A = this chain, B = another copy of it.
Amino acid sequence: MSRRTRLNQEMITNKALEIADRNGMETVTMAALAGELTIKSPSLYNHFKGLTEVKQAMSVKAIDLLYQHLKEAGIGKKEGSETIRAIGKAYIEFAKQHPGTYDASITAPYPYSENFQLAGEAIVGLIRESLSVYSLNEKEIMHVVRGLRSLLHGLVDLKRKGGFNLQVDIEDSQEMSLETFINGLNR
Please give the residue numbers on chain A whose beta carbons come within 8 Å of chain B beta carbons, in ascending order.
106-108, 110, 117, 120-121, 139-140, 142-144, 146-147, 149-155, 157-158, 161-165, 167-168, 170, 172-173, 176-177, 179-185, 187
Contact = CB atoms under 8 A, between A and B. Distances in A.
A150 B139 contact: no
Given A146-B168, A149-B154, 12 more contacts: A121-B165, A139-B168, A142-B173, A143-B176, A144-B176, A144-B177, A147-B176, A149-B158, A150-B157, A151-B151, A151-B181, A183-B187
B158 A106 contact: yes
B164 A146 contact: yes
A43 B164 CA distance: 35
Contact of A184 (B121, B170, B181): B181
